[in-house]
Structures are given as structure tokens and as C-alpha cells.
Amino acid sequence: MRVDVRSLHKTFGKTNAVDDVSFSFGGGEVVGFVGPNGAGKTTTMRILATLDEPTSGDVFLDGVSLVQEPEEARRRVGFVPDALPTHADITVHEYLDFFARAYRIHGAKRKQVVESIEEFTNLTGIREKLLKALSKGMNQRVCLARALLHDPQVLILDEPAAGLDPRARIELRELIKVFASQGKAILMSSHILTELAEICTGAVIIERGRILRAGSLDDIMIADPLARTLMIRAVGSAEALHRATLELPGVTDATWEDDEVTLHFAGTDEAAADLLAELVRRGHRIAEFRQPRVNLEQVFMNVTTGGVQ
Amino acid sequence: MTLRERLDVWANPILIKELRQAVRGRFAVSILILALLAQVIAVGVVLIAQNLSGNPSLAVMAGQQTFMALIVTVVTPCMFFIPVYAGFRMAAERNDSNVDLLFITTIKPRTIVLGKLASIFAVVALIFSSALPFLAFAYALRGVDLVTIVLAFGVAMLVVLSVSILALFIASLPATKPFKLLMGIGVFLFTLMMYAPMIAMIAQSVFRRNAFAGEMWTALGTFVASLLLADIVLLVLTTVLITPPAANRALPVRLLFSFMWMLTFVLAVAVALNTADTDPILVWAIVQLVLASLVLASAIGEREEWGPRVARTIPRPMPRRLLAFLFFSGGAGGTVWSALTMAATVLAFNAALLVPATRPASIDDQAQYLLEAAICLLAYAMTALLIRRKLLARRLPQRFTWTIAAALLILIAVVPPIIFLAAHHDTQTFNDYFHLVAIANPVPVPVPDDLPPVRLAVLMLWCGAMLAANRGWFAEQLRRFAPLDRGGEAGVPVLQPE
């Protein structure tokens, strides 16, 4: 399964909720969809779930156009919205049975599908409980089960971990890992970036409807290669090394403490290698030269401005 | 495929869910117990009262009185509680997350509405069926025949379903809760209005021998047909209201209204011929003008371009595309459809009047009044459209264009005549000039015979000028109304021409 989001635009009046968004991901990948509130995450996800129509652009699910064949695309997508269902007086089993019917799963197959999904999502023990009597974590689990009924190859999860307690979050995380191992393509939004970083293979950072960064988690974590932070550990005091680095081209700022110099450097990998060679040529004794790995939170804070539309 | 398997495939998922919820919830059970208790008490009271009275003539009517007591006790809770229940259940389904989840399945809005309706029918049937043992008892007491029983319960069922459909419609409106509550109070009053005549009709049929004969059948037939027509319209409108905005929501409404236009015209002409009276045709024409103007008010705020999902269904051959332009969602198409419906109504009115033998003297005036009203309503709509496009494009959302039309109507058609009336009533000035002050009022104002009929000319001039000023709006939308180009670059669909 391949999901290709191509030049997606969505406007509400004069507001560009989604502005030229393009990215792609495949089966077995878990992509984190990250952005401040009002960035356009939910709108994009609703378009992917065929609930909203793009103003222009399209999404292809293994070549099936979401715009031209929404009915066909719907069979391939499972969607978990950020709001939980509010059906009163219905049990977990009846709720899942209802959606199985709505997906036109009939007869003995429906019974088999519902029971296997209940077992897979660990709902068998609470299948006769009313939805309104469930905790938020359990409700979220029911939502996931519902989204899996028609065996979709793409899962769109909008804030699935919001409001869950630690245990429920861990269980959800494990469940998502299982889905990925089954070859499903998963796009999930969350504000808990540390957790996203633990299960995602890629990320898309969006703000004001525009993609700021997209790619594999490794690519994302290496912050802008032309505005990187380098750490140099000298043998002995770093004071002289600090002075020297400030004279070198590409260094925009540098600080030192004990035997370490941390500098901000604007340049390519080759320029960084030249910088190291120059320092060695000048007689500085370097014990360590590295580019610290940043985490998703840092990248997010660096690339976003916090602006909303 | 076995019958059970077939039923499983055909079964409406919403119906099954609703019935399960009804069984689990307290409402259906409570109302069933309430109805049973009421029946026991009512039958007991009737029988004891007859015994105590000692009047032998009353004993003859024991079956009839028991039946009436039963039907009142069964129908009353159904009429007043079931619609409330139906409205709340629909509102719950309309909850954003719930309805979204339904629309990512293969379920259709039509299935949702029909499923709700079927579940209401099932609950009402269950409550009615609780009266069966008592009905058998009433039948055994004599005085009521089976036809009366079936018809009485049939009419009661239809009325309960009709009020419930109205409740479903109100619950589907994209309005605030206070507004819906206000509408709910309106439905309650409407229910009260329906309740008394219905009980009276049933009582008449029960206590009169051969009641369901002759004129009673005509009255009943008219009543049932009117309710069914209203139900169909409300069901279509409810379906449209819960359809996602990206869909072609205008199509079913305009198709239904076009069909109803023709059907009701034939019926009106038939009644006019039968009664040798043109009033049914006049009433028909007025109702059609009102309906067309409501569509017009909605159309001037509709979309001006089509999303890919609607565009992919636009026909490619030009004649079919032009026809589709009238029926698809869209401001210009809706305006043209309304204008054509108004024109067709005026023409049909004139044509129909050639048939009846009797022709009242005032008929020419009526034809002219209808024409003037149609032109006047179109002029207001076109003026509102022009104001929104040219002056308020950035300030007023497109969908509220109708508010400008309403404001203009109040400012031009309502306020000046009221002021003039207050200042000059009972004077010669009033008689001479009131028709001029009210010249832009869609409701006709008689013009003194000695004065030239300038109203039609003024309205035509105004409407023509507004249509001319908006011609670019029509032309642009007609140009944009094109099928989706499936051969767009890199597989990305583009609307053509952009």
C-alpha cells in the first residue's frame, strides 16, 4: 500500500487551511503528523478519510484517487477521529456489529470478523458493556476496533492518545506497532512528541497549512543541515579552541564550558569536515567532534513559530 | 441464498441499531408500560361507568366506548412522546463524530433517514400491538367492525409517523439548540392541532354506522394523501440536510419539487374541473410561487463553483449538461430553476383557466398578480445578489445572501406602506397613492381603475436591470460548470476550464 498526498489545498473562505501539502508513505510505516493547534492536521486527515473534499490536489491510495473514487478509497481507509462516539444504550459488541453491517459485511463472516477484532483489540471481556460505561482508554480501543472492521490498509488516527492514562497509552502504542507489522500504512497525529518519536518511522511537521518538514524520522532529527549545532571536545581547556572557532567561516556563534565548545555552524557536511581539518592544522588537539542528535520536540520547536491562521 | 441470508443483506443497519438501543433504553419500555397501564385503567373506567349508570342504551355502545378509550390511551403517548424521542435520536446521530463515522462507511444518508423512520414505525407498532388483547375485548362487546379498527389505527400510525418525520427534520436542521427548541415547541403545537381532528375523525367513524363511506372516504383520502405528500417532502429535505456539503445536495430537492409541481398541478386541475371552481388552481399557483421563492432565496447563497466530487458527475454532452446545470447545486443554476418554475407556474395558471367552464371576472387580475409577484420576488433576489457581490463580498458569507433579500423586502415592501398607512389612512391621498408606495410589494395591491397599470412595467424594468447587472455571474458559472478532466497532469484532477 502506498499513500501519495499530492499538492493538497483546502480553503475555507479566505483561509488556506491546507496549502500545497504533499507527502507520501507506505505500508508498514507509522508517520507522525505534527503541528500546533489549527495547523491543518485534522483537515488533512479528514480529506484522507474522504470526509472532506480538497479544493484542489488529490490523494492516491495505491493509485486509487480519493477525489474521483471516494467510495473505493473508503474501503481502504480506517479513520479514528479525535472525538469519541456518543451512542447511548449500545454495547461494545452491538456497536461493532452495527459498523460491520454498515461496511456491508454480512452473515457468518460478520460474526467472525467482529469476534476476531474484539479478540485482537482485547475487547472480548467487555463486549457486553455499554459504551457509555467505558473509560476513555477503552472507548479509544473500541474506536480502533471499529476502524479495523473492514480490514483497511491505511489507518488515519487523529489524536488517538489524547486524554489517555499511561497504561492505556502504552497499550495503544503496542497496538499501533502490531498494525504496522501487519503492513498497514498509518498516519497519526499527536501532541505528545516523545511518544510519537518512539513508534513513528517518519514525521510530517505542518504549520499554517504548509509542510515545514517531512521525511523519515532520521532525516527529520538531523535538523537543518545548513544550520547545525556541533560539539567539539578538546584535550585540556577549550578556551583557545573557542576563540579559534569564532574566527572560522560558517561559525555563527560559539560557547564553551570546561573542555567542550558548542558552536552553531552554517554549512554542509564537507564544510564541517574542513572546519575540523583547519582546527587540527592550527594545532588544536581534538578528542571528540560530533553533531548532537536532536529530538522531535526540539525540531518541532525550532521549525514552528506557533502561529495560527 | 437463504431467506435469512437475504434479510441479513437487506436489513438496514440503522434500523437494527435503533431497535437495539430502544430495547436497551428506558424510553420504549417506559412508554409501553405506560400505555398498558393506561389501557387497563381506561377500559376499567369505561366498563365501571357503564355498569353504574344502569342505562341499557349505553350497554349497546360498550364496544365503541371501550374502543375509543383504547385508541386515545394508546395514541396519546405515541403522538406526544415518540416524536420527541425520534428528534433526540436524530440529533444524537447528527453529532459530528457520529455522522462522520457513518459517512466513512458505505452507508448513505437515505439509509440513515429510512432506518430511523423504520425504527419509529416498529416502536409505534409495538405499542399499538399492546392494545390487541383489549381490542379483541372491545370487538367482542360489539359495535365496532374490523375495517373501522384497522383504519383508525392506520390513520393514527400515519399521523404519529408524520409528526415524527417533522421532528426528524427539525433535528437535522443546522441550527442552534435554542432555535431547535423553539421549533420543537412549534411541532408540539402542530401535534396538538393534528391530535384533536384526528380523534374527532376516528370518533365520528366509530359512532356513526357506515362512517367510512361516501364523503368520509373523500375526506380521509385527502387527509392521507396530503400527509403522505408532506412526509415525502420532509423525508427528502431531511436526507439532504444530513448529506455532506460536498455532495450534490440540490439535485433531489429540485427533482422532487419539479415532480410535485406537475403532480399537484394535475390534481389542482382535476379538482377545479370537478368542482367548477378555479380556486384550487389559484391556491396551487400561490403555493408553487412561495416554494420557488424559497428555493430562490437558498440558491442565491449557494456555491459558485463545483468541487471535484460533483464535477465528476457533470454530463459531458452539452444538452444534458445544460439540463444538469438547472438541477445541480449551484447559485446560478438554482436561480434559473426558480425563475423557470415561477414562469411555468404563471403560464400553467393561465393555461389551466382555459379549461373550466366557469371563469370568474377577477381571473385576469389574478393572473397578472401572480406574474407581478414572480417578477418582484426575482427582482429582490437579484438585487440582494448584486449587493452581496459588489458591496458585501468580504463582509457577508455567501450563504447569508438571503438575509439581504429579506432586509430589502422589509425596507422597501413592508415599512413604507405601513408608514403611509399610518399617515394617510381614510384620505383621498391614501386611495390615490398607496398602490405606488406598495409597488414593490410581492403581495398585490389593487390599482384604481382610472390609473394606468404601471406596476408590471416598473417591476419588469427593475428585474431586467438586476438580471443584466448579474449576467456576468450567470455566464461565469455556466462556463465553470464542466465535467472533471480525468486526464490532468500527473493524475491530479483539475477542473476545466479554470
Give Dmax (Cα) for chain B.
Answer: 92
| Percent of chain A clearing pLDDT 70 (strictly above) | 96
What is d(CA A62, CA A152) in angstroms, rounded to the nearest whole number? 12
Please indicate whether, in this complex, the C-beta atoms of A99 and B486 are within 8 angstroms of each other: no
pLDDT score, position B489: 42
pLDDT score, position B211: 54
Highest mean pLDDT pick, A17-21, A294-298, B490-494: A17-21
This prediction's pTM: 0.79
User: What are the chain B neighbours of A84 within 8 Å (beta carbons)?
Assistant: 97
Chain segment B15-49, per-residue pLDDT in tens: 999 898 888 888 888 888 888 888 889 888 888 88
What interhelical angle do B109-129 and B13-24 show, nearest 10?
Answer: 40
Please indicate whether, in this complex, the C-beta atoms of B24 and A90 are within 8 angstroms of each other: yes
Averaged pLDDT, A248-264: 89
Tally of residues, chain A:
309
Q: Which of B16, B308, B490 sits opposite A98 (nearest CB)?
A: B16
Give Dmax (Cα) for chain A.
Answer: 80
Q: Which of B8, B106, B309 sits opposite A102 (nearest CB)?
A: B106
Predicted ipTM? 0.78
| Number of helices followed by number of strands (H, E) in chain A | 11, 14
Chain segment B215-245, per-residue pLDDT in tens: 777 777 888 888 899 999 999 999 998 888 7
- CB contact residues (below 8 A), chain B span 376-415, against chain A: 397
Q: A113-117, A229-233, B164-168, B352-356: lowest mean pLDDT where? A: B352-356
Omega cis (within 30) before B446: no
Cell of A137: 482508554
Q: Which of B102, B491, B492 sits opposite A102 (nearest CB)?
A: B102
**Close Cβ partners of B128 (under 8 Å, ≥ 6 residues apart):** B74, B78, B153, B156, B157
pLDDT at residue B449 tops 90: no
Chain segment A130-151, per-residue pLDDT in tens: 988 888 888 888 988 998 999 9
Higher pLDDT, B421 or B473: B473
pLDDT score, position B439: 82
pLDDT score, position A308: 55
How far CA A243 is from CA of A189, A239, A290, in Å, comes to 44, 6, 19
What is d(CA A258, CA A246) in angstroms, rounded to the nearest whole number? 17
pLDDT at residue B491 tops 60: no
Q: Could you tell me if B152 and B60 are in contact, meaning their C-beta atoms sit under 8 angstroms apart?
A: no
Q: For residue B385, what pLDDT band results from cuts at 50, 70 and 90?
A: very high
pLDDT at residue B495 tops 50: no
